[in-house]
Every structure is written in structure tokens, then in C-alpha cells.
Structure 1
Amino acid sequence: MGAIALAAPARAAGPGDSPILKRIAARNAITIGHREASAPYSFIDRDQKVEGYSIDLCMKVVEAVKARLEMPSLELKYVPINTTNRIALVANGTIDLECGTTTNTLSRQEQVEFSPIFYITGTQVLVKTDNGAKEVEDLKGKRVAVLQGSSNEQSLRMLNDTEKLGIELVYAKDLGEGALLVASGRVDGFAADGGQIKVYAATKAQPKGALKVIGRLLTYDPYSAMMQRGDLEFALLVKRAFADAFRSAEAEKLYAKWFGPLGIEIEPELKTAFAIQALPQ
């Protein structure tokens, strides 16, 4: 006897018991938190429009909210955020959904809820294109720049000590200075967030093609969107929207839209993450 397919129950319109959806309906607006200069993830373009890969994915949630509340003219508001205030603005309800470059960690899950993972990065190394190194171990005895106090410094220092690589760590104040140290030959590499240094190498290296990123991910830093904790209905709506984007390959298309022009192809780890999170309805 063949299996009987059971139809999924229809989802009721309206906010239901969701505090976040009730808040959105009362405001007649959904508020998105965004970064101002984290291209191509979340940034303000030359026309003062909020754009980016993270933003486009979050728009899938916005459309789902409009459909759920039956409010097609729901206003969309944007609030700029940074690394120091983003969690607080989500936790206190100032923004409904944060769409930027936030790493999903267990400690942060004590404060906020996260969407499915939509980007995977980690510590990698920026070097000159003519550098023959393929992994950080190939820089044994060399000078490598890091951002002081960063997880990238911690991971490199641990590997350096464990493998007795004899790498001399040099502190850079920011991404631009770290890259400049490499370009000028004052250091042999710069260990930092792989996604960010790939974008830097593709868009700011002078001359074009002078820098490249090498090595496996020394850390695992998955990006997710943030929302308030404790609202299971809204969290499920967000998960559905992302799962739909993964299942339909729309997420891969958005990745190609934003990273393709930079010559950055989607990593196998991220494709696997999309497939695993493409849950059925």
C-alpha cells in the first residue's frame, strides 16, 4: 500500500502569539539593522541605498512578514549598526532583524536568536601573489601581521605555539594597515577574516591582482541574521524564509550576484551548509 502524503497545515494570517510580529504590525513597519560599510554584505551605496548580500537574503524575510500579516504596504525602515551596539539593539527591540556580518556563536545565543547560516568564513592569510606559500605553515619563521586581540590572532598564536613555527606576530591597527604591511613587504602575511581579506584583495589591491588569500580556515565563523530571543513564531518564519532561499537555489544566485563580480566563487562548505539547511516544509 502506498504512503499517504499529508498536507502541511495552513499557516494562519496575522501576528498570532509573536511579540515581534505584533510589534511590526503596531508600527506598520519592519526595522532592519544594517552595516554602513561592510561591502558586499551590508552597506550604503553611492546613492545612499542600503544594499548587499545579507540585505537581499533578509528581504526574503520581509516578504514573508508582509504575507503573514497581510500587509503588502508594510514600511521598511533601516537603522545603522556597528559591532558595539548591534546585539543590544536587537535585544531591546529597536530593530526587528539584524542583517550584517555577525558570527553566530553559542555565547551570543544566550542574548539573541539567530537565523540559519548564510555565510562561512574564518581566519586565513593575505599574501603577495608571488608568494609561494599555500598554507600558514609555509610561513614558518616569517613575519605575519594580526589585529591585536582578535580571534585571528588567538588562532594563529595557538597554531604557532603548537607547531613551533617560529612566526613573528606583528600588530596592525586595522584591515587596511595589515594589507599595506603585506603590500610593502614589511610582513610576509596578514592573518585575518578570510571573507574580508578576499574582498580587499579583489577590490583594493594595487596593482590589481597583487594580493591573494591562502590556506584553510583556521577558525569557523558562520554568519547569521539576529533577532530577539524567545519568539518561536518569528524565529520559525525566518527559518522558513531562509530554507526556501536555500532550497530554490536563490541563495546561491544572490551569492553569485554580489561575490561573482569580485572573482570570489562560493566555497564548498557554504554550498553544503545551504543544502543541509534547506529543510522541507
Structure 2
Amino acid sequence: MSAQPIKAAHLLLVCLLSLVSAVAGADTLERVRNSHSVVLGYVPDFAPFSTQDGDKASGYAIDLCQGIFNALKTELNLPSLQVRYQPVGLGEETSAVSTGKVDILCTPTPATLERRKTVSYSIPVYTAGLSAVVNKKAPNALLRVLKGDVVKTGPTWRTDVNRALANMTYATIAGGVTEQWINQQIRSLGVVATLVTVQDAAAGLKRVADGKADVFFAERTMLKHELTDQYVTGNLVLLDRIFEYSTTSMMLDRDDENFRLLVDSALSEMYRSGEIERQYDKHLGGVSDTSRMFFNLYALP
């Protein structure tokens, strides 16, 4: 036998082994069945969606993941299945899922094309709204622009907007899609401004309260929760305007459709049974008519 066929056969074997390894790595259900345990990831300090209290986790997303855990026990016929909640740092969500550190990221995140290169997503579990918090003493010109009160007609409207937004300091949580959105707005309007990033909502609100930032942008429900908890009688104001909407979902392994199907089936059943609405009432301050409409769209038949 010549060296060339041997080399070709060796290469084929390596490719097959790599393929088998990839498939095995992607089979979450088989891994859970063999280990009798599942690892549910979450981002701490992301109230009311996921928070850490000692070695325990709680929040809206955690309760939904508990429902998925129960579905796993039933599907795999493993009543003694163990669960471990694994904290995941901001900016580490994608790698935690793609490397198998966690089986699912419970904390909902918006899907992006860049993230979809390495991970997949469940059906949506929440519709996020981007809002802003300012100091009560914020300039009127800035407030008018942020509230959307500036009429975008006439030769000077862009100049008025730029003047109101210029030389301000804007803050947001590091590593998220909001950071990209603010940078986009600054570039498209040609505004000279400063963007600073913070670790969490509490740090962002503190910057505005201390006068170190003029505006803090973050998800509206998170802002309401943090303001109610820490700034009931403070000097901060949550604006009514929602700048952007985004569906958010749980992050899963990109190459595991069987596990994704189980997760989507469990979430769809939670939508149909009213469980998700009960979790909205418990953690998110109730459900609106618009949210109920989204529930019907998100649940798969």
C-alpha cells in the first residue's frame, strides 16, 4: 500500500473522529442523562431577571429555568436529576454556553448575528425596552430631545438636537447591545459626547445620582426595579420614552436541536398554561395587554 492512500485514510479517520466528538459534545440531553445533573447558567445582579444570594439564584428567568429543569426530569425519566446554578459574568455569556461550562443561560439576552455564530437561542421569554434615567436637574434642552419632543423638521432641528446632546456623559452596562446602540447614535448624529460603561444598573444609577453621568441607558424593567429598591425618594427620573424594543431569549448550544426543542416545548407550555404570566406578576410587576399579545406569538403550537 502506497504512502498516499495511508495518508488519505489517516486524514479521513481524523475527520470522522472530530465529527463524532463535535456531535457528542453537542448532545446535551445525553450528557445530562449520563451525569444525572444539569448546569443552569445565569448573570448575577441582573434583577429582577436573575440575582445571586449566597449559593442560591432567584428571579424571573430562574423560575422559568426551573420549569425547564422539571421538563428535563420528565423527558429523561430522571426524578433524581440534580441541578446546579452557575453564575456567569457579564461579557462571558456566549463563551460559557459555547464551551459547555453551562447547559443553558437562563438570563434572557437579545440575539445578534455575531452571537448566532457560536450559540443558538430559545423562543423569546421577554420583550426588553430600552429606557433612560436622568437627574431631576437635567437641562431642559436635553430632556426635550430624550423625550422625543423635538420636531424633526426645518433647517435647524438637527443643530438643536446636537447642541442638546453634545458634551454630555452617557452611561450603560458594559458589553451589551445598548453600548453598540449608543455608539451608533453618537456617530450618526455627529455628536461630541462621552460614553462610559459600568458593571450593572446600580453602578449606572449611582453615576447619575452623583453627577458623574448625565444619562444612564438600560432595560426599563431593570431600571424600575433598581429605582424602587434604592432611589424611592431620590433625585433620579425614569423617562417614559422607550427608545428600542428587543426580544430576549435563553442562550443554548448552537448545534443541539434536540435540547433546543425540549426547551422551546417547555417554554411554550408555560405560555399556554399561564405560568409565564404568573411569573410576570411575581417578578415583573404584572403583564400588559401588549405582552399578552406577544405571548401568543412566542409560544410554538
Report TM bin, short chain: 0.7 to 0.9
**Change over 3 Å in CA distance of 1:173–1:229 after alignment to 2:** closer
What is the SS of the residue equivalent to 1:196?
Answer: helix
Correspondence for 2:85 among 78, 101, 105 = 78
Q: Does 1:279 align with 2:300?
A: yes
**Change over 3 Å in CA distance of 1:26–1:150 after alignment to 2:** closer
Per the alignment, residue 284 of structure 2 pairs with 259
Per the alignment, residue 12 of structure 1 pairs with none
Correspondence for 1:239 among 250, 264, 288 = 264
Q: Does 1:211 align with 2:270?
A: no
**Change over 3 Å in CA distance of 1:69–1:146 after alignment to 2:** same
2-side partners of 1:110 and 1:23: how far apart? 23
2-side partners of 1:32 and 1:217: how far apart? 31
Per the alignment, residue 89 of structure 1 pairs with 96
* Greater Rg over alpha carbons, structure: 2
Correspondence for 2:120 among 113, 125, 128 = 113
2-side partners of 1:128 and 1:271: how far apart? 33
Per the alignment, residue 4 of structure 1 pairs with none
**Change over 3 Å in CA distance of 1:157–1:37 after alignment to 2:** closer
Per the alignment, residue 56 of structure 2 pairs with 49
Deviations 1:43-62 (A, max 9, x none): 212x5321111111111111
Per the alignment, residue 104 of structure 1 pairs with 111
Q: Does 1:194 align with 2:220?
A: yes
Give the C-alpha shift of residue 150 in structure 1. Answer: 6.0
Q: Does 1:65 align with 2:90?
A: no
Q: TM-score if structure 1 supplies the norm length? A: 0.77
Give the C-alpha shift of residue 79 in structure 1. Answer: 1.7
Matches within 5 A, 1:147-166: 147=172, 151-156=177-182, 158-159=184-185
Q: Which moved more, 1:116-125 or 1:67-76?
A: 116-125
Q: Aligned letter for 1:146?
A: A
Give the C-alpha shift of residue 129 in structure 1. Answer: 5.7
Q: Aligned letter for 2:90?
A: T
1-side partners of 2:270 and 2:92: how far apart? 28
Give the C-alpha shift of residue 208 in structure 1. Answer: 5.1
Give the C-alpha shift of residue 276 in structure 1. Answer: 0.2
2-side partners of 1:155 and 1:105: how far apart? 12
Give the C-alpha shift of residue 205 in structure 1. Answer: 1.5
Give the C-alpha shift of residue 179 in structure 1. Answer: 2.2
**Change over 3 Å in CA distance of 1:172–1:68 after alignment to 2:** closer
Give the C-alpha shift of residue 22 in structure 1. Answer: 0.8
**Change over 3 Å in CA distance of 1:21–1:134 after alignment to 2:** farther
RMSD of the alignment, in Å? 3.1
Correspondence for 2:273 among 226, 248, 251 = 248
Unpaired stretches in structure 2, ≥5 consecutive residues: 1-25, 151-160
Per the alignment, residue 33 of structure 1 pairs with 41
Give the C-alpha shift of residue 122 in structure 1. Answer: 4.1
What is the SS of the residue equivalent to 2:109?
Answer: coil
Q: Aligned letter for 1:275?
A: N
What is the SS of the residue equivalent to 1:246?
Answer: helix
**Change over 3 Å in CA distance of 1:160–1:85 after alignment to 2:** closer
1-side partners of 2:202 and 2:100: how far apart? 34
1-side partners of 2:67 and 2:78: how far apart? 15
Q: Does 1:225 align with 2:263?
A: no
What is the SS of the residue equivalent to 2:113?
Answer: coil
Give the C-alpha shift of residue 266 in structure 1. Answer: 3.9
Q: Aligned letter for 1:88?
A: S
Work out whether residues 43 and 89 of structure 2, in 8 Å CA contact, stay in contact via their aligned partners in 1.
yes
Work out whether residues 42 and 55 of structure 1, in 8 Å CA contact, stay in contact via their aligned partners in 2.
yes
**Change over 3 Å in CA distance of 1:75–1:156 after alignment to 2:** closer
Q: TM-score if structure 2 supplies the norm length? A: 0.72
Per the alignment, residue 10 of structure 1 pairs with none
Give the C-alpha shift of residue 109 in structure 1. Answer: 1.7
Work out whether residues 144 and 191 of structure 1, in 8 Å CA contact, stay in contact via their aligned partners in 2.
no
2-side partners of 1:75 and 1:167: how far apart? 53
Work out whether residues 152 and 192 of structure 1, in 8 Å CA contact, stay in contact via their aligned partners in 2.
yes
Unpaired stretches in structure 1, ≥5 consecutive residues: 1-17
Higher share in helix? 2
Deviations 1:93-142 (A, max 9, x none): 23211111422223212211211111222432112468784761348415
1-side partners of 2:52 and 2:269: how far apart? 27
Per the alignment, residue 5 of structure 1 pairs with none
